[in-house]
Copies of this chain bind each other. A is one copy, B any other.
């Protein structure tokens, strides 16, 4: 059984891409290196993804899928606004730390095709889960809350935390203080966010 045909090459290529990006950053990504790691020739990815942007877009979509799944699973059964935001925020950070390669690609929006249907679907699904959390905040804490502004605020804060986390370690080592772990910070952030949005 000569395995000329790979079992599931697209998935293997996505995994290799995520691994490579997690190791060397998005700038260290190389289509040929990914193909090498997957054990295929350098032109094989083109048959499934067209070009490098196509592969990276697929990785980003996969990342948003995992994020949206986690946000829905974590949050959609919680009725208390603060507890939901805490839990979903912690889940966001957890997924981001578990999938560093995916998230690095998801943020770097000039690498991906933002019109991709799968990418749009899952990223909108994640955003919708966040919006439902904001509706809870509005219903329980502040009827005047603007849902979209609040959702953007939470999204930006958590995403900023994740993308700044390597730099935080640098600053901490430079100033001599020790860095607070990200999963601890996110809890404080949730407090700040909820209290900030609850104020009228």
Contacts and interface: CB of A to CB of B under 8 A. Distances in A.
Taken together, the copies of this chain in the complex come to: 2
Given A193-B196, A196-B196, A197-B192, A148 B177 contact: yes
A160 B149 contact: no
A114 interface: yes
Given A149-B180, A149-B188, A26 B160 contact: no
Contact of A152 (B25, B152, B185, B196): B185
Nearest to A167: B109
Interface string A157-185: 11111011011101100110100100001
The interface residues of chain A, by DSSP majority, are classed as helix
Contacts of A167: 109, 114, 123
A127 interface: yes
B164 A159 contact: yes
A131 to B, nearest CB: 10
Contacts of A111: 25, 27
11 contacts: A26-B110, A124-B174, A148-B180, A149-B185, A152-B161, A152-B168, A152-B185, A155-B164, A192-B199, A194-B196, A195-B198
